[in-house]
Amino acid sequence: MSASWPALPGEDRTATGPDGGPHPGRGELIGREAEMGQIRTSLAAARSGYGAALFVTGEPGVGKTRLAAEALAAAAGTDMVTVRGRADAVGGPVPYRPLVEALFLLARTGLLPDPGELGRHGPVLARLLSDTGDPGAASHLAVAETVLRVLAVAGRQRGCLLVLDDLHDADPGTLAVLEYLLDHIGQQPAVLLLVAGQAPRAAAELAARARRRGVASVVDLRPLGGPDVRLLLATELGIAPGEVCPGLVHHAVDAGAGIPFVVKELVHELAGHPDRHGAEASVPATVADSVRRQAAGLGPLGVEFLGMAALFGQRFPLPVLERAMGRAHGELTATLRAAVASYLITPDGTAAHSGPQWYAFRYPLAAEALLDDLGPGERAGHARRAVRALNDLHPGLPGAWCAHAARLHEYAGDIREAVPLYCEAAGRAMSAGGVGRAVDLLTRAHRLVEPGTTAPAVHAEVLERLLDAAACSARFDRLPEPAAALTALGGGAELDGAELDGAELDGAELDGAEVDGIPGWRRAGIHARLSDIATLAGHPDQARAHLDTALRLLGSHPDDAHTALVDLAAAQVELSRVAPDRLRTAARLARRAADTAERVQLPDVAGRAQLLLGQLARSQDEPAATAHFKRAHAIALAGRLPVLRMSAEAQLAISAASHDGLPTRVERARQEALRTGLLPLAHEAGTVLALDRIQRCEFEEAGDLIREAAADATRLGLGRPLAVLRLAEAVHHAHQGRRAEMREALERLAPLLDAAPGLRAMSYGLARAFCSLLEEQHDAAGREFAQALAYDAENPATGDFGQHGIVLLLGVLAGRMGRRHHTAVARASAAGTRWNHQFVGLAHAVLLGREGRSHEATAVADKALEAADLYPMARRLCLRLIARSAYEDGWGTPVEWTREAEEYFHGAGLQAAAGACRALLRHMGASVRQRRTGTERVPPQLRRCGITAREFEVARLLAARGSNKDIAARLHISLRTVEKHVASLLHKTGHPNRTSFAEAAHDLTP
């Protein structure tokens, strides 16, 4: 029932079909539930005879027309009359253009009232629709009243919705008519939905006046947030929201600022070029055209202003532009205001120098589109003027000005000036903790250095810095291919990491001599960095190949600085070898790297070596590990190395949390790592948090954390962190007794074990064996723990897999281990963690009980179980395991412990363990609770006493001091049955009589 109109840049015109209803291909409206709720309320009121007016406002592309189309579809779905019109600035304003279009639409559909029905307003209607008459000749008041009466007649039976779009381009007459309609629509069965931009034009002023007078509501559409952008991307790609790549969501939110039009066009551009992603994606042509037209509307001065601003990226400083353009502030004021009104730029409150001197493009793609529009000569000219102005205003280029100057020199073609400035800016970013920013700057610098045009030493320095930053941030996508990058430094055949094994190098390369201006020892340092990156990426063969090349390149002329780098890389590579002494060898290499680095004053290398030493010592010698972490922290503070500082603080937090059970500091470390772009560190802290939540039985939170981190590690190519996350996934399922899911997770882990062979022992101890225990397969659990110990003997694990806790408890219970074993395990630092303390303490209690020291055994057990309070499943498993020994040796409260364990296992769906507990209760001569419907209503303290659901019903009436006869009548049971239940209640709860029970259970009164 409405006319269609051509699409304009920035608006979605595909949402409705030619009849004004929903377009057959229109997808779900995303992120506008509240707005549509407001519109539907107004439509319902109109169908009851009470009209309303709503202005829909927002920036271009935010979805105003899309919302209007949804409103038309909602109205049509309730059989309302729907009609629409659009203002159009093309060819100059036409009097009453959107209103006339709406009237014509009503005429075509046969819904326009006969002029005779309008009385004296009939001639006005005829003049508006006449081909010969001049609509502008009619008075605004007459036109307004005529339209009002048309709406009243058209909607008198079922209500009417009139949508008028693009009112920011409407003629003054139309706005005057609308002002009248707004004042009188409330008495008509119609809704006015008026779509206009927020720019300071007459339509926006009309909306503001109407809202102040209370005759219209304003629905101001905001950009979509991250979750809604994910839904929009999923809809556009035709996949489930969970399948959308997190990186794509981040890029769409960042580059498109949540504006639906931009996000849609961006995803279509990326879908058409799957090899492009992130910063490499080009600006979609439709977005570029929209930005170009908006800029052209500002005139030549505006185009020049925006083109020069785009040289700075998304954010730009106004004073520098004014000086570069030779304009006073007042001369640019009108252009600046117009650019803000067009939604191309906005005052920036997020820049380092935020305030009235800084502005930002509404979204990064706008700046890229304007930059692409500059020709090479124009771009270079703008850049030279801008960099001169920048140097004049900020001599010495302090702070972030250095990066801006580097960018301008790049656009000006001054590569020799740009590269050192990029390196300096990256160093400042690293010092401030901006690792991601440093990678971006160094990537730009590396793209500028070319063999033959840049000194080899400069090329090598840029590459070294880029490799260091990428290793911290896991931004491997920004790295050049190793072979191409290193060949440019004169390395020849040695440099292809995939072909290094057995490669034949010439004599100069083997003995460390200089090649093309790059000494062999410096190339060795680059290979050491590449080895570290390959290790982190989970490619041990490539890591070893790069390390072997580095060792050969050091030759007979080693350099201490690069020797320290190579030793540290060798220590990391050693952790991927399968050898009984790999941890000792890694520690020796890391210690040598630390000593050398401190001697030659390489604080970053020395600190990283100390961190590795601490991680290697953690399970056996916690004080030594803490000392290494504190030494790394001190080095970081002295050298002002924020990345090293955060890494040391994270390791100290992990150590502290393992003892006090408080992971708050670990979570803070993770959040700081995420904020600064230290993704490998964030993943390490995240895995620690996930395992902690598994131990606490916070399975849903742990699962969400693991899934999100695993998807991110897969996207980044972090093979080693991904292996640990796959292990955590298996543990997550094992601690719930979900064997099938555990096996699937272990199958996903298997291909990654070459990168982290120590995880093999942990997969048996932390996952398989625990699952077997929950299934009451104790023999299988014993074999799996034995397999874990065997793997650990031939290839020691860097983490605890039960050998310092549950293995000891099981061995003591089975009689295989005694005092000597307990003493040996207790000496290890890992035995002192809160998780292991429960197992080690209970093993001690069992030994004390066997020695006849029952009081001591009970006291030790109580202390161990107090530590176990944080871990619901492990506590009940311990109770299940020690109860028989405690019963037979006469210590503790084995019946109460077994009942507690049975209740937990039953509630958790672990029926094998629950059944074993019930069998043990029978063995101990204790009553066994019947599992009937309604048991969940029995309070936990009574369930532990074995109170059944029926007995609980009796207990509530007994607490109310009812007689046996009253209870029998209330429950419709015999008097004899009541007597039996009362006697059972008193026996199970230990009360001597009914009065005592009633006083203790007064809160059970129904």
Per DSSP, the three-state class of 85 is strand
* 913 falls within a domain: no
Tokens of 255: 């580059």
Kindly state whether residue 872 falls inside one of the protein's structural domains: no
Q: How far is residue 299's CA from residue 762's CA, in Å, rounded to a whole number? A: 68
Q: Tens of pLDDT along 881-932?
A: 999 999 999 999 999 999 999 999 988 888 889 989 999 999 999 888 766 5
Confidence of residue 556 (pLDDT cuts 50, 70, 90): low
Task: Tell how strand 358-361 and strand 345-347 pair up.
Answer: antiparallel
Domain count within the chain: 3
Q: Determine the pLDDT at residue 90.
A: 64
- Which of the listed ranges 124-138, 240-254, 341-355, 754-768 does the model predict with the highest average pLDDT? 754-768
Please indicate whether residue 59 or residue 15 has the higher confidence score (pLDDT): 59
> Which pLDDT score is estimated for 508?
43
Average pLDDT, stretch 622-631? 94
**Domain termination site, one of 243, 275, 307:** 275
Q: What residue numbers bound the domain in which 252 lies?
A: 226-275
Cα gap 91→202, rounded to integer Å: 19
Q: Judge contact between 193 and 56, C-beta under 8 A.
A: yes
Q: Indicate the DSSP class of residue 766.
A: I
Rounded distance, CA 251 to CA 847, Å? 60
The beta-strand segments (E) located in 318-460 are 345-347, 358-361
- Has residue 834 been placed in a domain? no
- Per-residue pLDDT band for 487 (boundaries 50, 70, 90) equals low
User: Same domain for 241 and 162?
Assistant: no
pLDDT band for position 92 (cuts 50, 70, 90): low
Contact of 168 with 57, CB cutoff 8 Å: no
- Residue 877: what pLDDT? 95
What mean pLDDT is predicted for residues 981-989?
A: 87
Largest distance between two CA atoms of the chain: 115
Residue 191: the pLDDT is 93
Same domain, 161 and 247: no
Out of 236, 260, 275, a domain closes at: 275
Same-domain check for residues 167 and 240: no
**pLDDT band at 497, cuts 50/70/90?**
very low
Q: Is pLDDT of 12 > 90? A: no
240 and 122 within one domain: no
Banded model confidence at residue 294, pLDDT cuts 50, 70, 90: confident
Domain annotation covers residue 206: yes
Same domain, 177 and 62: yes
70 and 105 together in one domain: yes
Do 126 and 262 share a domain, yes or no? no
In-domain check, residue 647: no
Q: Are residues 116 and 252 in the same domain?
A: no
Residue-level pLDDT at 1004: 67
CATH number at residue 948: 1.10.10.10
The dihedral sign for the CA sequence 238, 239, 241, 244: negative
Residues 66 and 139 in one domain: yes
Residue 594 has pLDDT above 80, yes or no: yes
Sign of torsion over alpha carbons 777, 783, 787, 790 = positive
Render pLDDT for 362-391 as a digit per residue (tens, 0 to 9). Answer: 888 899 999 999 999 999 999 999 999 999
CB 117 within 8 A of CB 125: no
Q: Are residues 73 and 213 in the same domain?
A: yes
pLDDT at 920: 94
Range in 37-51, 155-169, 352-366 the model is least confident about: 352-366
**One domain for residues 84 and 203:** yes
pLDDT of residue 272: 56
CB distance 74 to 43 below 8 Å: yes
Q: Once rounded to an integer, what is the mean pLDDT over residues 242-251?
A: 78
Whether residue 3 has pLDDT greater than 60: no
Question: Of 506-515, 581-590, 645-654, which range is least confident?
Answer: 506-515
In this prediction, residue 573 has a pLDDT band, given cuts at 50, 70 and 90, of very high
Please give the pLDDT value at position 507. Answer: 41
Selection from 254-258, 427-431, 610-614, 983-987 with the highest mean pLDDT? 610-614
Nearest to 565 by CA among 509, 513, 604: 604
Residue 1005 banded pLDDT, cuts 50, 70, 90: low
DSSP state, 481? P
Alpha carbon separation from 707 to 62, 538, 702, 722, 1002 (Å, rounded): 32, 19, 9, 11, 48
- Other C-beta atoms closer than 10 Å to the C-beta of 271 total 10
856 or 962, which is more confident:
856
Q: What pLDDT is stored for residue 609 in this prediction?
A: 96
Question: What pLDDT was estimated at residue 991?
Answer: 87
What is the pairing mode between strands 217-220 and 315-317?
A: unpaired
CA–CA separation, 358 and 367 (whole Å): 15
Q: Over range 742-748, report the average pLDDT.
A: 95
E strands along 685-803, which residues? none
According to the model, what pLDDT value does residue 866 have? Answer: 92
Q: Quick one: tokens of 26?
A: 């229109």
Question: Could you tell me the pLDDT band of residue 357, with boundaries at 50, 70 and 90?
Answer: confident
Of the two residues 354 and 826, the one the predictor is more confident about is 826
User: Using CA atoms, how far apart are residues 720 and 290, in angstroms rounded to an integer?
Assistant: 45
Whole-angstrom CA distances from 855 to 818, 846, 862, 891 are 19, 12, 11, 7
**Strands (E) located in 256-380:** 315-317, 345-347, 358-361
Check residues 757 and 611 and name the one with the higher pLDDT.
611
Pick the range with the lowest mean pLDDT from 77-91, 632-646, 754-768: 77-91
Q: 393: buried, middle or exposed (CB in 10 Å: 19+, 13-18, 0-12)?
A: middle
Of 275, 290, 314, the position where a domain reaches its end is 275
Res 633: pLDDT: 96
Mean pLDDT of the chain, nearest integer = 85
84: β partners: 163
The pLDDT of residue 93? 64
Tokens representing residue 814 in the block: 């089975």
Asked whether the beta carbons of 453 and 482 are under 8 A apart, the reply is no
The DSSP bridge pattern shows strands 81-86 and 160-165 to be parallel
Residue 307: inside a domain, yes or no? no
Per DSSP bridges, beta strands 52-57 and 217-220 are parallel
pLDDT digits (tens, 9 = 90+) for 772-803: 999 999 999 999 999 999 998 888 888 888 88
Looking at residue 6, its pLDDT comes to 28
Question: pLDDT for 21-63, tens place per residue?
Answer: 333 334 678 888 999 999 999 999 999 999 999 999 888 888 8
Is position 232 within any domain?
yes
Instruction: Give the residue from 883, 867, 931 showing the smallest Cα distance to 903.
Output: 931
Q: Does 108 reside within a domain?
A: yes
Q: Highest mean pLDDT: which of 50-59, 238-247, 847-856?
A: 847-856
CA distances (Å), origin 521, targets 49, 526, 791: 87, 9, 38
User: CA gyration radius for the chain?
Assistant: 37
pLDDT at 678 over 80: yes
Q: Directed axis angle between helix 435-448 and helix 415-431, to 10°?
A: 160
Residues 200 and 246 in one domain: no
Assign 265 a pLDDT band (cuts: 50, 70, 90). Answer: confident
What is the CATH classification number for the domain harbouring 44?
A: 3.40.50.300
Residue 133, classed as helix, strand or coil, is coil
* 773 close to 754: Cβ distance less than 8 angstroms: no
Percent of the chain at pLDDT > 70 equals 88
Task: Read off the pLDDT band of 506 (50, 70, 90).
Answer: very low
The rounded percent of the chain whose pLDDT value lies above 90 is 47
- pLDDT greater at residue 3 or residue 58: 58
Asked if 229 and 246 count as a contact pair (C-beta separation under 8 A), the reply is no
pLDDT digits (tens, 9 = 90+) for 180-190: 899 889 889 99
C-alpha to C-alpha distance for 766 and 732, rounded to whole angstroms: 10
| pLDDT of the residue at 342 | 84
